[in-house]
Amino acid sequence: MYNISKPNTDKKYFKKIVLETVTFSAIIEFIIGQHTFNIFIEILLTAIGFFIGGLLLYSKEEKYKDVRKLLNIVTIIIAGIMLYYSLSKIIQNIISISIVEKAEEFSLSIILTLCFIPFFYILYLYMNYKSRFSAIKSIIKDDDILLYAKKQALLNFKDDKESLVRWTNTLFLEEPKTKQDVKKSINNIKELKLVEQNPPNVDSNEGWSPHKSKDFLKDSGIATGFYNKCYGDEWQASSPYIELNKDSIDNSETYCMADNVAYYVSGNSTIVIQLKLILHINSKNDEKLSVNKFHEYVKHLYRSALDNDLPNAITKAIINGKSKNLKISNKTISVIKYDYVDRNKGYRIAFSIVHK
């Protein structure tokens, strides 16, 4: 119940719940739980487990890796002793143990978990619809149209949470005034999803396919959201900020933001005409490492977009922190450096490929 929002970020969350009930660790837990120590040892073990668990959680930072290794060893030793104790008790009483009874005990947790998942999934959907419906109250003022919008969303999207999110986001731009507007907005999302499942080919002389170009850097760990209408006739997809040197920032004694990179594609509803990758240097601690990583991303993007190697002039501009423009056929390749007001606190480098 505490993890009710987990499926929003992990599409395999429900599958993992099922698998966790039949994994090797679940079997080990079952065996250990068959026999207990006396009450005083159990209380002591609980206190020790709580203490070690808290230390393990705190020691996730890289600077505590040696402590984390030691704690893991201690945990394994304690678990090993408990497992040995339970196995020895089982062997001593093997004659009196009913295999069928133990199998039923083990399968019970699996059965109960499988019975609970449908309720948990329905609750998850309910929470998503509730939060989204609360959001559109500020957009659709008419109660009758609002009720109609809710019913249509339930009928059309059902358990398609992604489409529900996209639809409610578009309402902030379109602001439907009638039931026909609501129906049209829903149909637009459904049509857009069908197009994404079978993306049309785009002439390379005009631009890129929105549904392919937004995933140019997916293999490098930079994934964008949906390609959606922003304002007017402009459409865009963007990635979240990807931190490049978080570990060194966490270990630093002075507070500063980690360097980060973000990817943007923009154009109209059918064609992307601009690809942009932006690097923010917020700390001079790992400036060179961040720039080199950004350069790798740029090379990957250029290869994916134009099926060619990145020009040396662009490479030099990125590495040296200089602005540069190149005209190649009907495309403009550019690197632009923007210094912050306080140059000691960093700068920004924008790489872009634009169809003209």
Q: What's the CA angle centered on 170, arms 165 and 173, to 5 degrees?
A: 145
Integer Cα distance of 147 and 161 in angstroms? 19
Lowest mean pLDDT among 44-48, 89-93, 285-289, 301-305: 89-93
Span 256-286, pLDDT tens digits: 678 999 999 999 988 999 999 999 998 777 8
Distance CA 342, CA 348 (A): 12
For residue 251, pLDDT beyond 80: no
b/e string for 321-352 if b means 16 or more Cβ within 10 A? Answer: eeebeeeeeebebbbebeeeeeeeebbebbbb
**Distance, CA of 177 to CA of 77 (rounded, Å):** 66
**Mean pLDDT, residues 78-84 taken together:** 85
CA atoms of 254 and 283, how far apart (whole Å): 10
DSSP string computed for 208-243: B-HHHHTTTTGGGT------EEEETTEEEEEPPPEE
CA nearest to 164, candidates 135, 195, 197, 121: 135
Q: What is the pLDDT of residue 323?
A: 93
pLDDT, tens digit, 9 for 90 and up, residues 190-204: 988 888 888 788 888
Who's near 1: CB < 8 A, 6+ residues apart? 120, 123
The two tokens of residue 324 are 């540069």
* pLDDT tens, residue by residue, 155-184: 999 999 889 998 998 888 888 999 999 999
Is residue 19 a contact partner of residue 35, using CB atoms and an 8 Å limit? no
**Residue 147 pLDDT exceeds 90:** yes
Q: Indicate the pLDDT class of residue 246, thresholds 50, 70 and 90.
A: low
